[in-house]
Amino acid sequence: MEIKELHLKHYGKFRDHRITLQPGVNIIYGRNETGKTTIHSFVRAMFFGLDRGRGRQAKTDEYSLRQPWDDPSYFAGSMTLSENGETYQIDRNFNRGQQSCTVVNRSKAVEAEDGQEEIRRLLGGMSEAAFCNTLFVRQARAETDEALMEELRGFMVNYDQSLDQQTDVSRALQSLQKKKKQFVQKKKAEEQQLEEKIGRRQAEADYVRREIDSLKEKEKELTKRPPEQFRQEGPEDEDQENEKEEDKGRNYRIMTEALLVIAALLAFAMAWLFRVPQLRIFLGTFAVIFLALLFPVHKLLSGDEEGDQDWTEEKERQIGAVREQLENQEDKYRQLQSELELLYQNHMKIEGSSLEIEALNLAISRITELSSSVFQESGGDLAQKTSEILSMITGGRYTRVSLGDSLELQVQSKDRLLKLHELSFGTMQQVYFALRTASGELFAGGRQLPLILDEPFAMYDDARLAAVLGWLYHSGRQVILFTCQDRERRILEKIKAGD
């Protein structure tokens, strides 16, 4: 595949800007802040589109960075490329809410039914993550990231001929990881809600428990007799002593009332016997007075008894009210305890859902182990291709690269095997470049897709730069190299002149 033309209709700072590209190495030179990185970003956007981020990410995502400021509603571009002698044109509208992608085979005048799927076919089935970690090198990002490891492992497993060709390990792992994440999030949310509810019910139960204790203490105080009714005798003598006191008081009242009645009767009798009027009146008056004293004497002598009765009735009323409250609170406490028991049972059920998460973890682990095993068996092609590229761009100084199941790189020099951290920074960058380029060819099914490079060789010295540009020039593949330095152009001219 070769890219023929980039048409930035309205993208970033560019409006109706066209760039014509040629086969081989294309150097796009410009000073800083002239828009090289914007053009570099445009190539990726034409292949895979631009997704708008959410929340805080929306302020710094690629969509926001490249959306035109002067007219945000017009956000579009076009790219022309050739594949197997046929010309294709890709048109995109990036504007949010109006996003579209059309792919037209201009050689046959046929528009693809699914534009994005047609682009995927032209790229040999390469995903966006694989593209961005291999053929598309961003500024100051010549090294690979973790996404490449997962892409390579999954690709190698699917690439192995002994497995079902419909198997997609990367997608299977992504699906399992997604399910696991959903289970974990759901479990966490349910646990949080349940724990909050348990906390509220437990606090309410503790409060009711304290109320019950308080009411029991109040009932205990109310059932005590007044202090003056207690004697020094033990509690077993209290009832007997109280009965004796009540009997003595009652006998005294009856005796006093009887004496008053007898005195009144005697006074009446004597008044009847005596004939002297003054004496009769005197005795009759005394008789009336004695009778009149019956009521106040009865009231006075039976007052303590009535007071005791009034006190007893009031106490019984208070005790009854307290006991009613106590019964209600105890019923409420029992209900809360039942609710708490049910909530704890539900919590145990949620804990049991961990088995599903454990099952997913087991499946993920098993697939990873199997894919790692297959990767070790199938990674030879990638290591060989990487070794070939590295040997050529280092002038044969480093001849072989080995890859572990986690993409741990080791490099063979003329006399010993070196780990990546033992290499100089410049050599490390060369190793990464070789790995990315070889991986890109592997992902594209052997197709030579364009390399889109934004300042990848800024840390190379002139010798290393000449070696890698020489390899790129003789590889026959299309390269789009963005740089703010003129030395790439000068070195490339020398390479061309030397042929």
| Residue 170 maps to a domain | no
Q: Give the C-alpha separation, 400 to 488, whole Å.
A: 27
pLDDT at site 21: 95
CATH number, domain containing residue 18: 3.40.50.300
Are residue 35 and residue 119 in the same domain, yes or no? yes
Are residue 339 and residue 194 in the same domain, yes or no? yes
Buried b (16+ CB within 10 A) or exposed e, 169-198: bbebbeebeeebeebeeebeeeeeebeeeb
Which residues are paired to 19 by β-bridges?
Answer: 6
Are residue 204 and residue 286 in the same domain, yes or no? yes
The closest alpha carbon to 199, from 344, 351, 338, 334, belongs to: 344
| Residue 120 maps to a domain | yes
pLDDT at site 356: 61
Looking at 352, 386, 401, the residue that finishes a domain is 352
What is the C-alpha radius of gyration for the chain, rounded to an integer number of angstroms? 51
How distant, in Å, are the alpha carbons of 96, 169, 356, 369 from that of 172? 30, 5, 17, 14
Are residue 109 and residue 193 in the same domain, yes or no? no
| Residue 177 maps to a domain | no
Please report the beta strands in 312-437, taking only residues with DSSP state E, as ranges in sequence order: 400-403, 409-412, 417-419
Domain enclosing residue 198, as ranges: 188-352
Are residue 113 and residue 214 in the same domain, yes or no? no
Q: Are 157 and 442 in contact (CB under 8 A)?
A: no
Structure tokens at 373: 């095993």
Looking at 352, 387, 414, the residue that finishes a domain is 352
Number of domains in the chain: 2
Are residue 198 and residue 117 in the same domain, yes or no? no
pLDDT at site 172: 61
Longest dimension (CA), the chain: 177
* Tens of each residue's pLDDT in the chain, 499 residues: 999 999 999 999 999 999 999 999 999 988 888 889 999 999 999 999 998 765 555 455 788 889 888 888 899 999 999 999 999 999 999 998 889 999 999 999 999 999 999 999 999 888 888 888 888 887 655 455 455 555 555 544 444 433 333 345 556 666 667 777 777 777 788 878 888 888 888 888 888 888 888 888 888 887 775 544 434 444 445 556 656 666 666 777 778 777 777 877 777 777 777 777 777 777 677 767 767 776 776 666 665 555 555 556 777 888 888 888 888 888 888 888 888 888 877 766 665 556 566 666 666 665 565 555 545 545 567 788 888 888 888 888 888 888 765 556 788 887 788 887 788 888 888 888 888 888 888 778 778 899 999 888 888 888 989 999 999 999 889 999 999 888 999 999 999 887 6
| Residue 178 maps to a domain | no
Looking at 318, 352, 386, the residue that finishes a domain is 352
pLDDT at site 301: 63
pLDDT at site 231: 40
| Residue 86 maps to a domain | yes
Are residue 333 and residue 195 in the same domain, yes or no? yes
Are residue 221 and residue 340 in the same domain, yes or no? yes
Are residue 96 and residue 199 in the same domain, yes or no? no
| Residue 217 maps to a domain | yes
The closest alpha carbon to 17, from 76, 93, 62, belongs to: 76
Q: Are 455 and 483 in contact (CB under 8 A)?
A: yes
